[in-house]
Chains A and B, each alone.
Chain A
């Protein structure tokens, strides 16, 4: 009997313990060490901490974040920073953790979020963000970013986040050696793409590498084709519901999408974007459409050099446009120490901050007045394009439409990649868009 009672006590204690751990774990995340080190003061002066939530754990981007944190801590020795990064490509895991925390009224001090719908249709619409208009005034940030970019982080005239970096989604990276050997030039429009692809295939090279184990790289190709056919204004109107998926130009884009998929590697469904980018680096494939984080992968992970190991050109037919993926940071409602979080946002938005972070991450700064000399050849080219071309929001990365629609679009694209039914793809997209706009 005694043994049994002891066992019961033990197991109920264990249950309690587990429950307690569960609660504590989700609160503090990976930063429990930091909390430990701040010791006793943590209780009373817990406001002296800023928790930064992101999915920057890869080579380059983590270095960038660390450099930024170091810079902040040097300026503000009294505020400690907790790096609450959650690993996982394109932030898929981080977004799940963030959604749970936000729903549980336990927001991080500030978090990474793509400008556009991912910010506006989700967190701003759910009334979880503080407007930053005054902050922009104080920091004199209003004219430091392109207007189209500030629009992406604004909703009903209020600004909700600070853009840190810019990635471009409509880039075609290619293997220079393969192109030289076959004596061809990278394609500048869609017709040229198909000509080049034919030639490459005849030469025994996979023309286009794709890794759609997760669907977004395929969706990315589709959005770039839509942009090429519709032009920047109607491309945006498409996501607003003002241009329908029954538009002739959409049909053309969809047809081209199907044709393009005929030139991709057969094992595309088993590869993620890095694995497919590696095909280009190794010369197995000639080209890949990928956001320019692929440049970071080529340079940092594979040790290639810009314009030697790999070349780049805008996605065929979109040289006048810039598909923007911007990481931004905002101020959630319910944060205990908004003033200190703003201190961090101020570093994040400063010229020095952006010029510290971006060269390491391999992106370009969101500010227009950054120091060009700190960036490589690719960065300088892209910074120029950023100021001269029209900026358009990316669907695949959540800037053009809500996460719900993006998920459904990815599903429709996934089915299309196998079945190739153009009508069905356009129909599913239109249905999903209609449902979203209700």
Chain B
């Protein structure tokens, strides 16, 4: 009797194991196509771009002879590329900063058990539904030096030049460019923040809802003011959300192309130029394929600097 039970159990086990092996094969079979596609169309082409960036292919006739780092050296000596890196740095800092502050601020406001919560949430989320191109075209007119907000600001006697301003705040000569905050970038930041705040708002709102009420209660019982509750309890608990927002915004900001292309173009003296626009023009207008590939690789490295540590940290946490 007892033997029989054991036999049955063993048989069941065998079937299970067989099924597990079979399942694994199925899993491999199902993953293989997308794995292959990603391997070829994502990583394969990244490799190809890297190869082209080391070649002499700078005309319509392909020329794969080895150029070493010539294309990269050219870029880092180039006025326009230096300006691009400066612009990207300041754009990224301002953009992420404002998206976090405004997203968190709005999320806290909405979290106050408002009556029309859904309405406000939708209003703030709405810009996210637009593409950057639409945003760019609209803000191009709103922040135009001769129309838009300036017709209103004229009452107060202020006429900012917005994205046509060529001033570099706190500028000093560095390399071939003036290093400092390009005023024109602020116009781009306003448009980008307007569009992406809804995203960080949604993230933070979810985060706020995830913080148990007891924690806040406990702090209040200990005599903490509402301000202290936020500063000492809520915001520290939102740190993982902040990290995610920074990562996602950073990769949008480092790769940005469409907003700039639609709204301002390269700008006078390249004050609103970004690597994405330079890459497009170099590759498809000037037919400097190797130069364009080098710009793409620099952009990839910039994004990787942000993303890779994040992925590694995530893996460690999960593992």
Where the two chains meet, the residues of A that have a C-beta atom closer than 8 Å to any C-beta of B are 1, 5, 8-9, 11-12, 15-16, 19, 92, 95-96, 99-100, 102-103, 122-123, 125-128, 212-215, 266-270, 402-404, 406-408, 411, 414-415, 417-419
Contact = CB atoms under 8 A, between A and B. Distances in A.
A268 B161 CA distance: 11
A407 B30 contact: no
Contacts, number: 105
Contacts of B163: 269-270
Given A96-B284, A414-B269, A270 B37 contact: no
A221 to B, nearest CB: 15
Given A5-B26, A11-B34, A411-B80, A99 B287 contact: yes
B98 interface: no
B269 A267 contact: no
A8 B37 CA distance: 14
Contacts of B285: 92, 95-96, 403, 407
16 contacts: A8-B27, A96-B284, A122-B60, A123-B60, A267-B145, A267-B161, A269-B166, A270-B140, A270-B144, A270-B162, A407-B288, A414-B269, A417-B268, A418-B166, A418-B268, A418-B269
A19 to B, nearest CB: 7
- With most chain A CB atoms within 10 A of its CB, the pick from B61, B265, B281 is B265
Interface in B259-288: 264-270, 280-282, 284-288
B37 A126 contact: no
B268 A15 contact: no
A215 B62 CA distance: 28
A266 B150 CA distance: 14
Interface of B: 23, 26-27, 30-31, 33-34, 37, 41, 58-62, 79-80, 140, 144-146, 161-164, 166, 264-270, 280-282, 284-288
A344 B139 CA distance: 43
A69 B34 CA distance: 44
A9 B161 CA distance: 54
Contacts of B164: 267-270
Contacts of A12: 30, 33-34, 37
B33 A419 contact: no
A127 B62 CA distance: 11
A334 to B, nearest CB: 15
A427 to B, nearest CB: 12
A127 B280 CA distance: 24
A310 B7 CA distance: 101
The 7 closest A-B pairs by CB, nearest first: A96-B284, A418-B269, A407-B286, A8-B30, A126-B60, A269-B268, A269-B164
Given A9-B30, A125-B60, A1 B269 contact: no
Most buried by B among A1, A100, A403: A403
Contact of B281 (A9, A99, A407): A407
A404 B61 contact: no
Nearest to A102: B60
A95 B61 CA distance: 16
A212 B267 CA distance: 9
A126 B61 contact: yes
A419 B281 contact: no
A214 B31 CA distance: 46
A407 B145 contact: no
Nearest to B286: A407
Chain A residues touching B, majority SS: helix
A146 B241 CA distance: 69
Contacts of A267: 144-146, 161, 164
A146 to B, nearest CB: 28
Given A266-B145, A267-B145, A415-B269, A403 B34 contact: no
Given A92-B285, A403-B286, A404-B286, A213 B265 contact: yes
Contacts of A212: 268
Given A8-B30, A99-B60, A414 B268 contact: yes
Contacts of B268: 212, 268-269, 414, 417-418
Nearest to A126: B60
Contact of B34 (A15, A215, A270): A15
Given A270-B164, A407-B285, A15 B145 contact: no
B30 to A, nearest CB: 4
Contacts of A102: 60
A161 to B, nearest CB: 16
B30 A5 contact: yes
A99 B61 contact: no
Nearest to B163: A270
Contacts of B284: 95-96, 99-100
Contact of A96 (B23, B166, B264, B280): B280
B144 A407 contact: no
Nearest to A407: B286
Contact of B23 (A1, A122, A215, A270): A1
Nearest to B144: A270
A269 B286 contact: no
A206 to B, nearest CB: 11
Contact of B37 (A15, A92, A125): A15
B286 A419 contact: no
A292 B145 CA distance: 27
Contacts of A266: 145, 161
A269 B267 CA distance: 7
B34 A415 contact: no
B292 to A, nearest CB: 11
Given A99-B287, A213-B264, A267-B164, 11 more contacts: A8-B27, A8-B30, A92-B285, A99-B284, A267-B146, A269-B268, A270-B162, A404-B59, A407-B286, A408-B286, A414-B270
Contacts of A100: 284
A403 B265 CA distance: 19
A12 B38 CA distance: 11
Contacts of A419: 269
Contacts of B37: 12, 15-16, 19
A415 B286 contact: no
A215 B30 CA distance: 51
Contact of B33 (A15, A269, A270, A407): A15
A418 B267 CA distance: 10
A102 B284 CA distance: 12
A404 B280 contact: no
B265 to A, nearest CB: 5
Contacts of B144: 267, 270
B173 to A, nearest CB: 12
A415 B60 contact: no
Contacts of A95: 284-285
Contacts of A11: 34
Nearest to B41: A19
A127 B60 CA distance: 10
Nearest to B178: A419
